[in-house]
Each structure stands twice: as structure tokens, then as C-alpha cells.
Amino acid sequence: MKLYTYYRSSSSFRVRIALNLKGIAYQPVFVHLVRGEQAGAEHLKRNPQGLVPVLEDGDFTISQSLAIIEYLEETHPEPALLPSRAKDRAEVRRMVSLIACDIQPLDNLKVLKYLKDPLGHSQEEIGVWYNHWISLNFKALEQLVKNKGGGYCFGECVTMADVFLVPQMWNANRFKCDLAPFPALAAIEQRLYKLEAFDAARPENQPDAADG
Ligand SMILES: N[C@@H](CCC(=O)N[C@@H](CS)C(=O)NCC(=O)O)C(=O)O
């Protein structure tokens, strides 16, 4: 498999974690987002949205991190990232959606750039925007993991919710969000980084990190 990725892309980070957890070997192909390589003709053929990540599995090409991770879950079921009971899967997907639908799309690079130009917001205002969506939604997620977590976001095993949590925490730290109100999320994050699959997927540990 080939993964088109950028070290600091939180959506790529999710897929790197899932591939590592499932023990799937892959070849990373680096798409430099700051240099705009995602908008080049070659990449647009892979993903007309001009975003990473993109996964190639033989002649099959797929984008959208959640679609990719669900595909990996179906094609490589072990270890499972979704629980066996339907109600439990719904709980995990609820946490995944909170991050993937209600935080990341509001705080991604395209949105932050648009707030600056053409909307004319200052860097300080953009920081306030960023923090707002993190803290609003992490407040709810903190409550959900307190109710449902048993060491991890949901129960006592790593699930897709953990795969989505860690990259969002990484982004929140990068933007210096106040994470003090979320001790349960922070404790889970620390526990997850002890696992090789999460640590190896960290942005700092990617070969393209050296390229800026
Ligand atoms: N919903 C998409 C989001 C993908 C996305 O926002 N990718 C960002 C990096 S995390 C990107 O490629 N940004 C490039 C740009 O905004 O030009 C997913 O989950 O894959």
C-alpha cells in the first residue's frame, strides 16, 4: 500500500496510526502541503479535493481518513478498532464524528487561511477561533470518555476513537490550546503514546518532518 501523507496533517496521522495498529506495511509518499503539492495535477488525479491523506491499495485509490480507516477495518479486521456490539460501535463512532466532523473541518488549514484572506482576521482572532472549537467539543468528549472510557476513550481496548483523539490533541498542543480542563483526554493521550503504533505515527517521527 502507498499512503500520500504530510507529517503535520492530523488526518494523515490518523491513518498512519491505523496502519501501524493493524501491522500493515506501507510506503509513504510525501505531499508537501506548505509548498502546495496537494493542489498539483498529479495529486488532484488521486483526490479531486486536493487533500491528504490518500491511500493506494493496488489499483484502488481512496481519500478521506474515515473512509480509509473503515476500509482497513473491513479488509484487515485484526486487531479490531471497533467493538463487537452494535451499541458500542455507535458509541465509538459518536466520538470519532465529534472529532472528524465537529472539530477538524472548522480548524483545518483551508479554513484558517480563508479567515485571514479574504476575511481579514488577525492571527490572534484566528487563534481564538481555533481554541473555541477545540474547547467546545473537547468539553463534551471529556464527559463521554469519563462515562464510557476504561483506560482508553471507549472501554479497555484501543478503538477508532483513540486513533482520532491523539492527532487532534497533537494539533491542540501545537496551537497552544488550554488543555487543563481535559485531564481524562490528556491521560488517555499519554497512555496511547506508550504504544509503538501511536509513537511511530507521530509527526516528529516522520521522515518528511525534516523537510519542514
Ligand atoms: N475530512 C478529510 C480532511 C482532510 C484534510 O483536511 N487534510 C488536510 C491536512 S489534515 C489537507 O490536506 N489540507 C491541505 C489544504 O488545506 O490545502 C479527511 O479526514 O481525510
- Spell out which residues line ligand 1, taking CB within 6 angstroms: 9-11, 33, 38, 51-53, 64-66, 100, 108-110
User: What is the pLDDT, as a whole number, of residue 211?
Assistant: 86
Number of Cα atoms under 13 Å in the Cβ half of residue 85: 5
List domains and CATH numbers for the chain: 2-78 (3.40.30.10), 86-197 (1.20.1050.10)
Nearest CA-CA partner of 12 in 189, 176, 202: 202
CA distance 111 to 125: 13
Q: Measuring from atom 12 of ligand 1, which residue has the nearest CA?
A: 51
* The pLDDT value given to residue 33: 94
Q: What is the pLDDT of residue 212?
A: 79
Q: How far apart are CA 130 and CA 94, in angstroms?
A: 21
* Contact of 98 with 35, CB cutoff 8 Å: no
pLDDT computed for residue 123 by the predictor: 95
Pocket test for ligand 1, best of 72, 109, 175 (most atoms within 8 A of CB): 109
CA-only gyration radius of the chain, Å: 17
CA–CA dist 69, 73 (Å, integer): 6
Place of cell 487533500: 51
In this prediction, residue 51 carries a pLDDT of 96
Separation of 85 CA from ligand 1 center, angstroms?
Answer: 31
* Nearest residue (CA) to ligand 1, atom 16: 110
Alpha helix positions (H), 22-85: 41-46, 65-75
Decide if 128 contacts 56 (C-beta within 8 A). Answer: no
Q: How far is the CA of 112 from the centre of ligand 1 (A)?
A: 12
CB atoms under 10 Å from CB of 113, counted, come to 12
Q: Which residue has the cell 466532523?
A: 101
pLDDT at 120: 98
Give backbone dihedrals phi and psi of 18, rounded to 5 degrees, phi first. Answer: -60, -45
Low-confidence spans in the chain with pLDDT less than 70: none
Among 51, 63, 98, 102, the mutation site with the greatest number of ligand 1 atoms within 8 A of its Cβ is: 51
Q: Where are the beta strands (DSSP E) in the chain?
A: 2-5, 27-30, 54-57, 60-63
Cβ neighbours of 85 (radius 10 Å): 9
